Amino acid sequence: MICHRAVLGFLSAFLLSASLSTQGAQAADKLTFVTDFGYLGRHAYYFVALDKGYYKDAGLDVDIVRGQGSADAVKQVAAGTAQIGFADAASVILGRANDGVPVKLVAEVYAKPPHAVFTIEGSPITKPKDLEGRTIADSASSSLPKMFPAYAKAAGIDASKVKWVFVTSDAIAATLALGRADAVTYYTISEALMQKAVAPKKLAIMKFSDVGMDFYSNGIIANDEVIKSKPDMVRRFVQATLHGLKDAINDPEAAAKILNKYQRQIDVDVGTAEMKVISTLVQAPPEPLGVVDKARMKRTIDLVASSFDLKKPVTTDDVFADGFVTK
């Protein structure tokens, strides 16, 4: 015969366990994270953090959604469609200065700029000046066209003589391959993907850094209200993401394989190549990943301000929230 007291004890233990499980499930903060630009090999480390349980261990339930450019990511985070995102620093600066967009960077990933102009080897474009009178394609919400005037100034190009063609983000490579534009602006990170798209033609690349441009590029962004009301959630997201980034840098192929599990359209070799480029763009040791030097952020703001008419000046504190990266 089963002891009545034993049954009650069992039920109590079961109910307590169920209650704790429910509390644990409720404790996980649900958030939407929006990428800067579709799903690409450069985003592998977010899926590493997801796949290895880094987000779960941090008490986060993260939904990774695709963006349509940095400007789009900034808008989504500002509107609350996504609580956290990934975007170019220039888009954050412009959004804050011209539209009062309530979004700040909380960690930098691309400490060095990956911005570049891609053309085809053998084309009439062999140097930046040759872009005058030509067409360049990109997506309308990409940050690169916004930064092009600064590149033009540094490279001695008359930006008014360049014509822009705007296409969807997934049509950029085909636009170059099919000759529907003379060049495209893209990140050097995606060189392997672009090369596949234009094969058997060969790419020629002109980097923004080739003309002396040195500025912060993409980082993790969050809404002002989320930063204020849920700083611990933001901090946990940043740390879990940087954990995934470290893993991906240490083993790019393994990271690419994880990405391929979630996004089958991204070949492992392309994902691996993109993560290898990422490793050259992040903050170099001994400085920790994600850290921001305020003086360099000020130079980034000055660079943007020198190329655009900003409605109001912005400071480093207007576009960057400190305290979310473990130093």
Provide the residue ranges of all domains of the chain, joining segments of one domain with +: 28-112+216-319, 115-211
Outline where the chain has alpha helix (H).
4-27, 44-51, 54-57, 70-79, 89-99, 144-155, 172-177, 191-198, 224-229, 231-250, 252-262, 268-281, 294-307, 316-319
What pLDDT is recorded for position 134? 98
20: confidence class by pLDDT, cuts 50, 70, 90: very low
pLDDT at 1 over 50: no
pLDDT digits (tens, 9 = 90+) for 84-94: 999 999 999 99
Residues 6+ apart with CB under 8 A from 245: 45, 48, 109, 278, 282, 289
Domains 28-112+216-319 and 115-211 share a fold: yes
Q: Higher-confidence residue: 16 or 82? A: 82
Query: What interhelical angle do 231-250 and 44-51 show, nearest 10?
Result: 110
Q: How far apart are CA 43 and CA 251, in angstroms?
A: 14
Selection from 280-289, 300-309, 316-325 with the highest mean pLDDT: 316-325
DSSP code at position 37? B
What pLDDT is recorded for position 8? 42
What pLDDT is recorded for position 152? 94
CATH code for the part of the protein at 28-112+216-319: 3.40.190.10
Which one, of 101, 122, 140, lies nearest residue 311 by Cα? 101
26: confidence class by pLDDT, cuts 50, 70, 90: low
pLDDT at 319 over 70: yes
Q: Does domain 115-211 have CATH number 3.40.190.10?
A: yes
Average pLDDT of the chain?
90
Strand partners, 115: 187
Q: Hey, how many other C-beta atoms are within 10 angstroms of the C-beta on 27?
A: 9
Residues 6+ apart with CB under 8 A from 36: 67, 69, 70, 73, 85, 86, 87, 88, 143, 218
DSSP code at position 34? E
Q: How far apart are CA 117 and CA 183, in angstroms?
A: 7
Strand partners, 68: 37
pLDDT digits (tens, 9 = 90+) for 220-272: 999 999 999 999 999 999 999 999 999 999 999 999 999 999 999 999 999 99
287: confidence class by pLDDT, cuts 50, 70, 90: confident
Which one, of 73, 89, 83, lies nearest residue 293 by Cα? 89
15: confidence class by pLDDT, cuts 50, 70, 90: very low
pLDDT at 83 over 70: yes
pTM score: 0.84
